[in-house]
A and B are shown apart, each in its own frame.
Chain A
């Protein structure tokens, strides 16, 4: 018996070992394995939704990942395979890293990049990556000057040494955008929609939704709490008392307050908001907007563009009829908004060269356009091809020049680029994808919360999301539950207790049951 067991174990071990050998054994001619960890649906995955798809000419459009593998081998003469996996939230991704998963390239959001950098978990980019003379360095050559400035001027402080490093040392931008409201102009007048406090405005009771996540909700709460201060700041800015940078710094400071007093006041506001809103959503907001169930929806700009498209054109190939089409608008509140971005970072131990090549390949202008078309978000790349695509999508058609309005995007593209577009685009897709420079001044990047603040704010979220019962109600319900438990117990075991037993009628007696037997 024992011998048999030992043989079986030995066999199993030998088998496992041999398969391990075949996996790792044969060395050099194996291709490089590049492990990329990205958001779901956040890259051109080929197929019908792809920019290159054409029912007649190019029916099997490939994904960017596949094209990268081909390009890399052609360019560097080394075979490569990309192991591509996806995550759903920054926190999931962080937990996976903490558990020891190894990746070469990840694409977290702004605050998570800062957190990873501060905890010294990232590999810096090499100097060569920023060498604009190298023609394969598409990233640095095509990066928008606006985004470059944000990445260069903002710093993160390493926890271990206290040194300050600029973001660009650790992160390369991918997509960026703002937060705001999608609204249905049929129900919501743009004149009445000004600030984030629409969330607690009883005019929109049960008609407005927000995101079911703590950071976005906290942002909204903070904006409502400090509305007066933010507006005061804006007045001073408009009166010329401060310059663009100082104004932006002021807004950023306010929106990153996490002290105890702020947190407890934000909690009150969010509880009030919970009473007013239709609900918290993660994914239903877009379709609820289209159906007209809600009028106002907190949205990230990329989602907003998608929702506006969906409402106007529908999902299928055939365009919606005039009656079925719903026209939605995007609005960035006037006191402040969130500037967010997702960027590529390399965890410690990553294969730097190949990872940087991947970023460069995605930054090649034609690929940036492909991603922009597929995902609907705005890439950080500001090449001519991207502008041409924007012009092609939003520019006025020939003959319509009379109705056209000018839309200045020079701040982003870094040269004189004034788009002639239709007036409605000023509050629709174009505005969602490329806000005006004036808007960007009031957009604050939200830092990561340090451990103390994180605990406070998670506690706040529990309180906001959870139920608030009075002590007496808890007591009553507990008594009820215990009562039911007692009843069940009695029902089950009551028969064994003498007191509960049914007594026989007078003159009768039960046989075969000890307590009643008369010997």
Chain B
């Protein structure tokens, strides 16, 4: 008798486990190995010491942090009202507006950066304000990643909660600060993680719009991988830790908070 082929739940996870081992865990170990070895592949902390004793590298990582923070803040300020209006309006066309914000994501990234380069040139900012251009480019690129999670959380808030707030004497301001913001916190956090992390490393934007005069930490990793894989790996590892800590702070690891565009 032939037994019917049956998959247990565990065996269904095997493809992912294999993927995880080969494309996530092993590369990560390789990075750690390279980071803590010198040119002769001996264990050494020389890269670690070099990184923290080099003011240029420290300045650059600090600059990247600041650029990422500003980008995130600007994205939040722009995205929140948009998401709020879209989520609460009864308008039939609101999906059209939402689509307008999301469709740029479907166009090739390099193409979009090139387009905004032309635009900045036309305005006259290109080459004049490199840091500003970098931030404009980042905001433009990452805005949808902020709008989507905000929109989905705001949409989920029950209308009756607003009514309850009004019943209990809350004016629209208190309703906003005491009901809307706390309830949309998971969306805010998720949006922040999704914007903050890539804007620390997306050097295509800083190269194209900052004319390579703005160097963020991701660019350093790329440059070092041309000449010195060990230092490159060390910078990548340090960035990984920064990212890990900031995700921890924003609670990105909590599963119930994860609402990254689940409705779309």
Which residues of A come within 8 Å of B, CB atoms? 89, 91-92, 95, 206, 209, 212, 214, 274, 277-282, 284, 291, 293, 451, 454, 458, 461-463, 465-469, 471, 473-474, 477-478, 481, 484-485, 488-489, 492
Which residues of B lie under 8 Å from residue A291 when comparing CB positions? Answer: 121
CB distance from B66 to the nearest CB of A (A): 6
- CB closest chain-A residue, reference B227: A458
CB pair A465 B249 closer than 8 Å:
no
Contact with A along B167-206 (1 / 0, CB 8 A): 0000000000000000000000000000000000000000
**Which chain B residues (207-262) contact chain A, with CB distance < 8 Å?**
207-208, 210-213, 215, 219-220, 223-229, 245, 249-251
CB pair A293 B226 closer than 8 Å:
no
Q: Which of A279, A466, A485 contacts B57 (CB 8 A)?
A: A466
Contact with A along B33-67 (1 / 0, CB 8 A): 00000010000000000000011111110110110
Are A466 and B220 CB-contacts (below 8 A) given A212-B207, A477-B65, A478-B62? yes
Q: Which 6 A-B pairs have the closest CB atoms?
A: A279-B211, A280-B212, A469-B59, A466-B56, A91-B226, A466-B60
A473 to B59, CA, bound (A): 9
Taking the complex as formed, is B104 at the interface, i.e. its CB lies under 8 A from any CB of chain A?
no
CB pair B66 A468 closer than 8 Å:
no
Are A466 and B213 CB-contacts (below 8 A) given A474-B58, A474-B59? no
Q: What are 23 A-B contacts defined by CB distance under 8 Å?
A: A91-B227, A95-B225, A206-B128, A279-B127, A279-B212, A280-B213, A282-B207, A291-B121, A458-B224, A458-B228, A462-B57, A465-B215, A466-B215, A467-B59, A467-B215, A469-B62, A473-B62, A474-B58, A474-B59, A474-B62, A481-B69, A488-B249, A488-B250
CB distance from A330 to the nearest CB of B (A): 22
CB distance from A363 to the nearest CB of B (A): 31
Which residues of A lie under 8 Å from residue B213 when comparing CB positions? Answer: 274, 277, 279-280
Which residues of A lie under 8 Å from residue B150 when comparing CB positions? Answer: none
CB pair B211 A280 closer than 8 Å:
yes
CB pair B211 A278 closer than 8 Å:
yes
CB distance from A187 to the nearest CB of B (A): 15
CB pair A471 B223 closer than 8 Å:
no
CB pair B55 A469 closer than 8 Å:
yes
CB pair A462 B220 closer than 8 Å:
yes
Q: Which of A463, A467, A492 contacts B251 (CB 8 A)?
A: A492
Most buried by B among A95, A209, A465, A488: A465
CB distance from B127 to the nearest CB of A (A): 5
Most buried by B among A463, A468, A469: A469
CB pair B62 A477 closer than 8 Å:
yes
CB pair A485 B208 closer than 8 Å:
no
Number of interface residues of B (CB under 8 A): 39
Are A471 and B212 CB-contacts (below 8 A) given A95-B229, A212-B207? no
Q: Which of B58, B211, B226 contacts A92 (CB 8 A)?
A: B226
* Secondary structure call for the A interface: helix
- CB closest chain-B residue, reference A95: B229
Taking the complex as formed, is B126 at the interface, i.e. its CB lies under 8 A from any CB of chain A?
yes
Q: Which of A91, A278, A469, A492 contacts B127 (CB 8 A)?
A: A278
* CB-based A-B contact count at 8 angstroms: 92
Are A212 and B215 CB-contacts (below 8 A) given A461-B223, A485-B249? no
- CB closest chain-B residue, reference A280: B212
CB pair B56 A463 closer than 8 Å:
yes
A510 to B238, CA, bound (A): 45
A478 to B219, CA, bound (A): 21
Which residues of A lie under 8 Å from residue B220 when comparing CB positions? Answer: 462, 465-466
CB pair B249 A469 closer than 8 Å:
no
A291 to B16, CA, bound (A): 49
CB pair B223 A465 closer than 8 Å:
yes
Which residues of B lie under 8 Å from residue A284 when comparing CB positions? Answer: 117, 208
CB pair B211 A467 closer than 8 Å:
no
Are A466 and B59 CB-contacts (below 8 A) given A284-B208, A293-B121, A488-B249? yes
A489 to B63, CA, bound (A): 23
CB distance from B109 to the nearest CB of A (A): 16
CB pair B63 A467 closer than 8 Å:
yes
CB pair B249 A489 closer than 8 Å:
yes
A277 to B225, CA, bound (A): 26
CB distance from B249 to the nearest CB of A (A): 5
Are A462 and B223 CB-contacts (below 8 A) given A468-B56, A468-B59, A474-B59? yes
Are A454 and B227 CB-contacts (below 8 A) given A467-B56, A467-B60? yes
CB distance from B14 to the nearest CB of A (A): 9
- CB closest chain-B residue, reference A1: B8
CB pair A212 B212 closer than 8 Å:
yes
Which residues of A lie under 8 Å from residue B56 when comparing CB positions? Answer: 462-463, 466-468
A467 to B55, CA, bound (A): 9
CB pair A469 B212 closer than 8 Å:
no
CB distance from B155 to the nearest CB of A (A): 23
A212 to B208, CA, bound (A): 12
Which residues of A lie under 8 Å from residue B59 when comparing CB positions? Answer: 466-469, 473-474
A338 to B93, CA, bound (A): 61
Which residues of B lie under 8 Å from residue A465 when comparing CB positions? Answer: 212, 215, 219-220, 223
CB distance from A174 to the nearest CB of B (A): 22
| 15 further A-B pairs in the complex, CB-CB below 8 A; given A474-B59, A481-B69 | A92-B226, A206-B127, A212-B212, A274-B213, A279-B213, A282-B212, A293-B127, A466-B220, A467-B60, A468-B56, A473-B59, A474-B55, A477-B65, A481-B65, A485-B249
CB distance from B21 to the nearest CB of A (A): 14
Are A293 and B249 CB-contacts (below 8 A) given A280-B211, A478-B62? no
A54 to B102, CA, bound (A): 44
A214 to B220, CA, bound (A): 13
Which residues of B lie under 8 Å from residue A278 when comparing CB positions? Answer: 127, 211
A217 to B55, CA, bound (A): 22
A89 to B223, CA, bound (A): 11
CB distance from B68 to the nearest CB of A (A): 10
Which residues of B lie under 8 Å from residue A477 when comparing CB positions? Answer: 62, 65-66
Which residues of B lie under 8 Å from residue A282 when comparing CB positions? Answer: 207, 212
A282 to B213, CA, bound (A): 12
CB pair A281 B212 closer than 8 Å:
yes
A246 to B245, CA, bound (A): 61
CB distance from B213 to the nearest CB of A (A): 5
CB pair B55 A471 closer than 8 Å:
yes
Which residues of B lie under 8 Å from residue A92 when comparing CB positions? Answer: 226
Which residues of A lie under 8 Å from residue B130 when comparing CB positions? Answer: 279
A431 to B31, CA, bound (A): 48
A284 to B126, CA, bound (A): 13
- CB closest chain-B residue, reference A474: B62
